[in-house]
Each structure stands twice: as C-alpha cells, then as structure tokens.
Amino acid sequence: MLDMFTQNINPYYLQVANLLGIYIILALGLNLITGVTGQLSFGHAAFMSIGAYTAALLTLKMHLPFALSLLAGGCVACIWGVLIGFPTLRLTGDYLGIATLGFGEIVLVVFTNLQITGGAIGLAGIPRYTNVFVVYLLVAITVYCMYRIQYSRFGRALLAIREDEIAAAAMGINTTIYKVQAFAIGAFFAGLAGGLYAHLLQYLNPNDFGFARSFEILNFVVLGGLGSIPGTILGTVVLTLAPEFLRFIAEYRMMIYGLLLVVMMIFRPNGLLGGVDLSRVIKRYRSKRLERASARSISSS
Amino acid sequence: MFWQQLINGLTLGATYALIALGYTMVYGIIQLINFAHGEIFMVGAFVGVLAITILKVNIFVAMFLAMLVCMALGVTAERIAYRPLRRSDRLAPLISAIGVSIFLQTLMTVIFGPQPQAFPQVVEDALYKLGPVQVSRVQIIILVVASFLMVGLHLIVKYVKIGKAMRAASEDYDTAALMGINVNRVISFTFALGSLLAAAGGVLVGMYFNSVFPLMGVQAGLKAFCAAVLGGIGSIPGAMLGGIFLGIAEVLGIAAGYGDYKDAVAFTLLILVLLFRPTGLLGRPVQRKV
C-alpha cells in the first residue's frame, strides 16, 4: 500500500513534500524559541546539524533502528541546547542572536574538521529510512506538542517573558529556567528534523547547515507571523514552495526570492498571520453563519 | 616571527575594522543588524576589478569609483528595504536585510559566475625590511588607506555638523528628531559612510588576496560583524579595536597551527567576550527600563 502510493507519485513532488514537512518541524521549534519566548536565535541550523550527524552516525556505525537514532539525535541536540542556553541566555535581544550565530559557525567548523563526520567531503551512504508518512506523522506530533505547550501554564509564562521579561520575573517566573527549557525543546525538534533530513538525503555536508540555513528557518517563522503556529506553517509552505515554483527562471530564482522577502516584509511587517488569532476568526465566521441561519428560519416561519 | 605575524594580523584586522565600522554606525542609530553590509563590501571589490580592467585606472581611482557606486547602493537599499520598516517590529527589517543580501549575491553570481575572479596585479610586489619584519607594498597601502579613512571618519563624526547629528541620533533617536535634526538625512548619510568604508575594504581585500567572488561578503561580513560586537556595537573606536583584535587573533591562531579552525577563532572569542562583558569591550551597559 505504501509502495503503491509512493510509486504513483512524481518523486520530485515527493521530495519537496518531505523537505516541506522537515522544514515545518524545524520552524515550529524555532517558533517556540523566537516567536513565543522572544529569544532571538540565529543558530537553529546548528542544532539541526547536531541531530542529523548523531542520527546518521548511529544508524551507520551502530546499526541502531531508525526511530531510536532519530530520538537520540533529538536528545543530543536538546542537551546542546541546554549547554548553550544556560550561559548565553543571560544575554538579551540582539546579543543573544549574535552569540547563537557564533555558536552555529563554531559547530560548522568543528563538523568540517572532525574525522568521524567525513570532514568537508561529507558523510555519504546513510540509509534512506525517511518517507512521507514518517515525516508527516512527526509533523502532526510536533503540531500537537506545540499547541499543548503554547496553551499551557508553561506556554503562558513564555509569552509573559516575551512581552516583558522584568515584569514576568517580578510575577515569580524563573525566567532563566523557562528560557532554557524553551531553548531545549526547540533544539530537540531541530535535532529530530535533522535526523529526518539525514535519512532523506542520504548525504550530509557541513555546509548545508551554515548560517544561511539558520536564516532560512528564521524567515519561515517571521514571515508567517511570530508566535502563531498556523502562521509558521503557512510561512514555511510559502517560502519552501516559492523557489520551487520559480525554477523556470533558473538562475534568477534566488534574486526573486530575495525581493520576495523584502516586499513581503514591507507589506506585512508582522508576518502573514501575525496578530491573527485563527480560532477567533473561525468562531466569528461560525457565529455569522448561525446568525444568518437563524435569520432565515425566522423569516421563513 | 611574532612581530611578522603581528603585522600580518594588523593588515587583516584593518580591513575587518573598515567593514565593522559600517555595522556599528548603522546599529548605533537604528538598531538594525544590516546583514546586507557584507554584500556591499563584495560589490565594492567587483567594481574595483571592473574599474581596473575596463577603465584601466590605477588602484586609488578604482577605490574611489567603488566607493561612489557602493554609497549609491547602500543609500538605495536603505531607502527601499529598510525605511518603510522603521517603525515595525525589530525582526522585519532584519529579514528585509537578508532579502537584500540574497538579492545582491545572486545578482553578482548571475553576472560574473560563481567562480573566483583574479584581481589584476596593480601593485608590484616589493618587500621592505623593517628590522626583523618584512612588509609588502600591498600591506603598506592597506594600512595607510585604512588609517587615512578611519582618521577621516573620526574627524567627520567629531567635528562636522552632520557627524554631530549622527552622534545625537545614536544617543536618542526621538529626541534628536525633536531637536530639529533631519534623522532621515542622518540615516542616509550613515549608510553612505558605512558603504564607502566597506567598498574601500572590498578593494583592499581583493588586492590582498588576489581574488574576488560573489560569496566573499558572507564570511568577511560575519567576521566584521563579530568585530563590531566584540568592540561594543554602536561604538566607533570599539569597531576599530575589535577589527584589529580579531585580525591579530586569527593570524596568531593560524601561526599556532590551528589553521583548520581559523574561522572559529573569531566566533569563540566573540562568545567568550560576550559572556564576561555582555556589551563588548568598549560598549556601554544596557539600561533596563522598568
């Protein structure tokens, strides 16, 4: 059944769909850090690379099952999130962003020079375990987790930190612990996505995880609307599919992509769904329909 | 040996400092990390090559032309991509800057191709012995031009009216506007100055390493940005100090046998400095308002 489905679909579309799912997981993790908690992170790709290399090496060298290696990739990225989080989260605003940027570049250089990761040549021959069902199962789990986190007591504390850190601290929120936890969760999902990425492309190169990748993920989140889960997904879909649709103009495509970022920011600086509460929109739409229905029933009777 | 490395580091550091000044001035006034600044530097290097090969001018005229082109480019980018976003959330102009940077990178790749281009040999190789160290003519040109530009910048910021306006705007943007300073003009001027310095840096780096390529702005820009933060972002002497410090650290790192890790030196130093002095070496502590 699985084979039937995947064989009848254009492999190019399938690959794009897989990557899209992986990017959604990545972007939702960053959304928790930057969108919900308000901590600027320019090093999300570093956590992705840590997860990717961990998962790939575990299946390659230790022959661990796919699920376990994915989980291990997420956990190792999470541990690094905590290690980086504790010292650097004392920094605020742009300085935190800069420190995470530095961390990302250091990870890149380390992976380029390590023996076990294949250095600059990269790591090849990773078994292809990732398929579209695994990816979207994990997307669904991630979305569910993010909703549970964001609308819990913990999530509201994170929002409070984003709005005003000093006030949040004054209300008894241990801001450092909360920020580190958000950072760790975001890093975990980045690691998970990294593992999927490694087992999808079957080849890893440290240069795939440079700061350009980190900014790509940040673009998804900001373009969609900070702190909004549907927004983050929409932003990821738009920015992942745009370069694919633009393939017909070949070499000019990234130029258009750059312009697209500028134009979108000028017209919607808060992101596509920034400040839009989707549940409220749906509720309003429903109540209007109800009103119309009741008006009809009154007029007919 | 040590003194030789020090001179090499100073040369590299001077170019980092030239680029870092643009980051620091823009950040000081509008709190924007201008990620397109590295690309301005790259465009400057390309304009330098074109001027030398097509117009057959000497290196200084080429540098002057690169400065003019980049000034126009920097001011235009600000006008189109950053000014409409000045009152919005902090991240929006940042993403816009990334957009500009991707645009310029691809534009130059489409025009010139991704492979490095040789920088024409305009300065003859000549080594001068100064006691135990050897200094090449290229290095002397870099050091002299960089110091000349930095002194010029210092004089403008300190004594010229628009420089005073810049300092006022970086102190308090809104109050400066209330005092009758045309902040839009000040910001345009800041972008012009920063781009001019980056263009000079681009031509000097192209000449020093003998090659220019469309992605050269990425690493150089990141490192210069590190230098700006290291010295205390928003502070002009800080950017100069940070750049030179970083250049020397990098060259000493390579000399000590960590050449493979040379790109990590800057960032490791950056994180260490930020942990102990969260606003950089010469930065003022951030005031937290309650």
* pLDDT tens by residue, chain A, 301 residues: 566 666 677 888 889 999 999 999 999 999 999 999 989 899 999 999 999 999 999 999 888 999 999 999 999 999 999 998 888 887 877 888 888 998 999 999 999 988 888 888 889 888 898 889 999 999 999 999 999 999 999 999 999 999 888 899 999 999 999 999 999 999 999 999 999 999 999 999 998 898 889 999 999 999 888 889 999 999 999 999 988 888 777 778 888 888 988 998 888 888 888 766 667 777 777 787 778 777 777 776 5
Summarised one tens digit per residue, pLDDT across range A43-77 is 999 999 999 999 999 999 888 999 999 999 999 99
pLDDT for the residue B213: 93
Nearest to A102 among B98, B102, B270 (CB): B270
Query: What is the reported pLDDT for B260?
Result: 80
Distance from CA of B76 to the nearest CA of A (A): 13
- The residue among A31, A41, A217, A261 with the most chain B CBs within 10 A of its CB, best to mutate, is A261
B225 vs A: CB within 8 A: yes
CB proximity A91 to B under 8 Å? yes
pLDDT in tens, A123-166: 988 889 888 999 999 999 999 999 999 999 999 999 999 988 88
Q: What long-range pairs does A132-138 form, CB within 8 A, spacing at least 24?
A: A132/A6, A132/A14, A132/A17, A132/A18, A132/A21, A133/A2, A134/A66, A134/A196, A135/A17, A135/A18, A135/A21, A135/A22, A135/A196, A135/A200, A136/A21, A138/A21, A138/A25, A138/A192, A138/A196
Among B198, B236, B224, B244, residue whose Cα is nearest residue B14:
B244
Q: Is A262 on the interface with B (CB under 8 A)?
A: yes
Please give the residue of chain B at the shortest CA–CA distance from A99: B271
DSSP secondary structure letter of residue A90: T
The SS3 assignment for A124 reads strand
A9–chain B Cβ distance below 8 A for any pair: no
Q: Which residue of A has its CA nearest to B261?
A: A109
Q: What is the crossing angle of helices B137-159 and B161-171, to 10°?
A: 80
Q: What is the pLDDT of residue A3?
A: 64
pLDDT tens, position by position, for chain B (290 residues)? 788 889 999 999 999 999 999 999 999 888 888 999 999 999 999 999 999 999 988 899 999 999 999 999 999 999 999 999 888 878 889 999 999 999 999 999 999 988 998 988 888 778 888 778 888 999 999 999 999 999 999 999 999 999 999 999 988 888 999 999 999 999 999 999 999 999 999 999 999 999 999 999 988 998 999 899 888 888 899 999 999 999 999 998 888 888 788 888 888 888 888 888 888 888 776 665 55
Cα-flanking dihedrals φ and ψ of residue B134, to 5°? -110, 130
List the 191-210 stretch of B: residues with Cβ below 8 A of A: none
> What torsion, rounded to 10 degrees, do the Cα atoms B181, B184, B185, B189 define?
120
8 Å CB contact between B258 and B265: yes
Contacts of B218 in chain A (CB under 8 A): 212
Is the Cβ–Cβ distance between A32 and A149 less than 8 Å?
Answer: yes
User: Which of B79, B88, B102 has the most A C-beta neighbours within 10 Å, making it the best mutation to test the interface with A?
Assistant: B102
From the list A232, A213, A201, A63, the residue with the least C-alpha distance to A130 is A201
| Whole-angstrom Cα Rg for chain B | 19
Within an 8 Å CB–CB cutoff, is residue A90 touching chain B? yes
Confidence (pLDDT) at B171: 86
Of the candidates A105, A255, A266, the beta carbon closest to that of B85 is on A266
Distance CA A86, CA A78 (A): 12
- According to the model, what pLDDT value does residue B286 have? 64
Beta-bridge partner residues of B185: none
Cβ-defined contact of B99 to A106 (cutoff 8 Å): no
Shortest distance between the Cα of A172 and any Cα of chain B, in A, equals 16
Could you tell me if B102 lies within 8 Å of chain A, comparing CB atoms? yes
Per-window interface: B 71-90 vs A, CB < 8 A: 80-81, 84-85, 88-90
Burial of A162 (0-12, 13-18, 19+ CB in 10 A): middle
Q: Do A258 and B278 touch (CB under 8 A)?
A: no
Output phi, psi for B60, to 5 deg: -75, -40
Contact (CB, 8 A) for A92 and B286: yes
Alpha helices in chain A (DSSP H): 2-7, 11-30, 44-61, 66-88, 93-113, 132-150, 153-163, 165-170, 175-201, 211-224, 229-245, 253-267, 278-300
Distances, alpha carbon B157 to alpha carbons B126, B168, B185, B228, in Å: 36, 10, 15, 17
Using the Cβ of B226 and the Cβ atoms of chain A, whether some distance falls under 8 Å is answered with yes
Give the pLDDT score at B153.
94
Type of residue found at B60: F
Tokens 């992705």, residue located = A48
Identify the CA nearest to B95 among candidates A228, A274, A236, A218.
Answer: A218
Contact A70, A191 (CB under 8 A): no
* CB B34, CB B234: distance < 8 Å: no
> In the block, which residue shows the tokens 């681009």?
B202
User: What's the pLDDT score for residue B15?
Assistant: 94
Would you state the pLDDT for residue B77? 95
Two tokens at A85?
């989080």
Taking only residues 183 to 202 of chain A, the set having a beta carbon closer than 8 angstroms to any beta carbon of chain B reads: none
